[in-house]
Amino acid sequence: MIPGITSVQALTARHRTTLNAIGRAVTITPGRRLAERFPDGVDSVVVMLDAENAFRRLREDDVDIYWGAYVGTPDEILIAGKLDDVAGEIERVRAEARAAHGWIMDSYLLRRPTVADKTSD
């Protein structure tokens, strides 16, 4: 724990990414509030307290996930990639970690590409 550094800041720092795109909004929400789609006008969503793997409900293409458990501790686990590609791995690793430790403290950042991202390729 570092005073003044939130778990969200630690998550993005460990994944070497930004919280949001320049000039774009970010939403922080518990898993149970994650709808079938991203909130309107938001490209980055941080999800905390997600016991049900709510990321599986998203049906959007080209969504990246930056997942972390026990971030900043010796037990830290990080997984990132296209949501469709790594969702199953996250579920498996999350269940194994919870069984091994008796608890899980994880969060994740979901990001869809912005218009600027799509035109810069």
| Residues 85-99 pLDDT 10s | 999 999 999 999 999
**pTM of the shown model:** 0.89
**The domain that contains 77 carries what CATH number?**
3.30.950.10
Per-residue pLDDT of the chain (121 residues; tens, 9 = 90+): 666 678 899 999 999 999 988 888 899 998 888 866 777 788 999 999 898 899 988 877 689 999 999 998 999 999 999 999 999 999 999 999 999 999 999 999 999 886 555 544 4
Q: Is residue 1 part of a domain?
A: no
Q: Is residue 48 part of a domain?
A: yes
Q: Is residue 93 part of a domain?
A: yes
Which two structure tokens, joined as six digits, stand for 66?
């930056």
Number of domains in the chain: 1
- Give the contacts of 60 (CB within 8 A, at least 6 positions apart): 37, 38, 112
Residues spanned by the domain of 29 = 7-119
Percent of the chain with pLDDT over 70: 86
